[in-house]
Amino acid sequence: MSSFSNYNFHGQKALVRVDFNVPLDEHFNITDDTRMRATIPTIKKILGDGGKVILMSHFGRPKGGPEDKYSLKHLVKHLYGLLNADGHEPATNVFFADDCIGEQAYITASMLRNGEVLLLENLRFYKEEEKGDTGFAEKLSKLGDVYVNDAFGTAHRAHASTAVIAQFFPADKKMFGLLMEGEVMSAEKVLHQSEKPFTAIIGGAKVSDKILIIENLLEKATDIIIGGGMAYTFMKARGGKIGNSLCEDDRLQTALDILEKAKQKNVSIHLPEDSVLADKFDANANTNISPSDAIPDGWMGLDIGPKAIGIFSEVIKKSKTILWNGPMGVFEMEKFQAGTKSVALAVADATASGAFSLVGGGDSVAAVNQFNLADKVSYVSTGGGAMLEYFEGKVLPGIAAIQNA
Ligand code: AMP
């Protein structure tokens, strides 16, 4: 693989896999363009070198053929705006090809001039994309001289454009883009070069979604903080009373196994000593506080309590490496957001004192954004599913296809 930053793209057609799977409203307005913005530095570096950029992406879930509502043509104007926001002259041209392979795509790609951009139509209009079809990947590969993967969000999928395509480029003509490079470097730093103490903060609704990540982290972390709805399955497994709190009864044994394994491996597991209770799952519910293993009938734990906040914050502030995935409570409701907010502040404090902190997974990212702390942590990952699988210890096809070349 080549280093993106050191590569000179002058005169080269760079075929860049991006994740432009942004949400649209019913009038085709983009309601959150984070994913598009995230990849602009990669595009600008190529254009700045005097290269040509050919962008390919998936968009929504079409049923295997063209559908207007899933056409990437709806994004062209916005992309033009993002690339020309600084008002530079001459403006960067953005063209659109209404197919991602075939004659028109090839002709448009070959006619691009240095400094121009072509956006190809949705890759998922071909079912071959998700099947990882080699023939389809080879056709795509013909569009560019160099392959750049900047789509971390789909790195855990062995799709034609994210993994299979890499085999059609020599080792020095395939590389990660800046976004993907940042994601991979941050994730590797946490998983393979972590300075100790290393605290993993795992929250969210379900134990079943997080078992693999916890098991893998038992091999790496010194401390694991468990909060959110999943904590109550652990509480019940240890014989506690959890009222109406979330619980996965079929995971009680799993929870006990995790606690036992942690003991053997000398990893400290921190469960919330107390909880903020609600008498119903509602933003206006009556609230109370109790020990997390003595929740009265008719009440449910919707956030970690003040004692838990104190203990968790201490552990976090002593850490040198922090990984955070999943909220501590129902942070979408104001009454139950103190736990998640306090944890976010503790992560920010630790980062200010020199810790490396990585926040990933949809809801914890939403939380740091909501509390305006995104720039106070070391790295905010854009890839929810991909990041989870990486920390579960799985090989991500999109990373392997480039790293192992
Ligand atoms: P996940 O997608 O598994 O990370 O879960 C995130 C969701 O878990 C968020 O929508 C939270 O509102 C929810 N959640 C966190 N804590 C609790 C809790 N104690 N009870 C119910 N839901 C929770």
| Domain assignment present for 397 | no
pLDDT in tens, 303-355: 999 999 999 999 999 999 999 999 999 999 999 999 999 999 999 999 999 99
* Nearest Cα residue to atom 21 of ligand 1: 229
**125 and 265 co-located in one domain:** no
| Domain assignment present for 28 | yes
Kindly give the distance from the C-alpha atom of residue 228 to the centroid of ligand 1, in angstroms, as a whole number.
Answer: 6
Rounded mean pLDDT, 99-124: 97
Kindly give the distance from the C-alpha atom of residue 205 to the centroid of ligand 1, in angstroms, as a whole number.
Answer: 4
Residue 243 Cβ < 6 Å to ligand 1: no
**184, pLDDT greater than 80:** yes
CA distance 148 to 157: 16
Q: Last residue of a domain, which of 146, 176, 206?
A: 176
Q: Which two tokens stand for residue 364?
A: 């914890």
**149 and 27 co-located in one domain:** yes
Residue 209 Cβ < 6 Å to ligand 1: yes
Out of 330, 333, 341, 370, give the residue to mutate to test ligand 1, the one with the largest number of ligand atoms within 8 Å of its CB: 330
Nearest-atom number in ligand 1 for the CA of 203 is 4
**369 and 220 co-located in one domain:** yes
Asked if 143 contacts 111 with a C-beta cutoff of 8 angstroms, the reply is: no
The residue with tokens 């998640």 is 340
Give Cα separations from 384 to 201, 260, 345 (angstroms).
15, 28, 21
Nearest-atom number in ligand 1 for the CA of 331 is 12
Residue 33 Cβ < 6 Å to ligand 1: no
Q: Last residue of a domain, which of 128, 144, 176?
A: 176
**248 and 330 co-located in one domain:** yes
| Domain assignment present for 1 | no
Residue 206 Cβ < 6 Å to ligand 1: yes
User: What average pLDDT does the structure give for the chain?
Assistant: 96
Q: Which pLDDT does position 315 carry in this prediction?
A: 98
Residue numbers annotated as active site? 35, 206, 362, 385
Q: What angle do CA 118, 122, 123 make, to 5 degrees?
A: 105
| Domain assignment present for 404 | no
Kindly give the distance from the C-alpha atom of residue 229 to the centroid of ligand 1, in angstroms, as a whole number.
Answer: 6
**74 and 196 co-located in one domain:** no
| Domain assignment present for 8 | no
Asked if 192 contacts 223 with a C-beta cutoff of 8 angstroms, the reply is: no
pLDDT in tens, 16-74: 999 999 999 999 999 989 899 999 999 999 999 999 999 999 999 999 799 999 999 99
Kindly give the distance from the C-alpha atom of residue 165 to the centroid of ligand 1, in angstroms, as a whole number.
Answer: 37
pLDDT in tens, 203-247: 999 898 899 999 999 999 999 999 999 999 999 999 999 999 999
The percent of residues in the chain predicted with pLDDT above 90, rounded, is 92
Domain hosting residue 129, numbered range: 13-176
Can you give the CATH number for the domain in which 60 is found? 3.40.50.1260
**69 and 195 co-located in one domain:** no
**146 and 202 co-located in one domain:** no
Q: Which pLDDT does position 28 carry in this prediction?
A: 92
Helix ranges (H only) for 1-33 are none
| Domain assignment present for 400 | no
**222 and 97 co-located in one domain:** no
**169 and 225 co-located in one domain:** no
| Domain assignment present for 383 | yes
Whether pTM exceeds 0.75: yes
| Domain assignment present for 135 | yes
pLDDT in tens, 366-396: 899 999 999 999 999 988 889 999 999 999 9
pLDDT in tens, 257-304: 999 999 999 999 999 999 999 999 999 999 999 999 999 999 999 999
Q: Last residue of a domain, which of 176, 206, 222?
A: 176
Q: Which two tokens stand for residue 250?
A: 């079929």
Asked if 356 contacts 189 with a C-beta cutoff of 8 angstroms, the reply is: yes
Residue 339 Cβ < 6 Å to ligand 1: no
**405, pLDDT greater than 70:** no
**153 and 232 co-located in one domain:** no
How many CB atoms lie under 10 A from the CB of residue 220?
A: 20
Out of 302, 341, 368, 381, give the residue to mutate to test ligand 1, the one with the largest number of ligand atoms within 8 Å of its CB: 302
Residue 327 Cβ < 6 Å to ligand 1: yes
Rounded mean pLDDT, 145-172: 96
**290 and 360 co-located in one domain:** yes
How many CB atoms lie under 10 A from the CB of residue 332?
A: 14
- The total number of structural domains in the chain stands at 2
**236 and 318 co-located in one domain:** yes
How many CB atoms lie under 10 A from the CB of residue 67?
A: 15
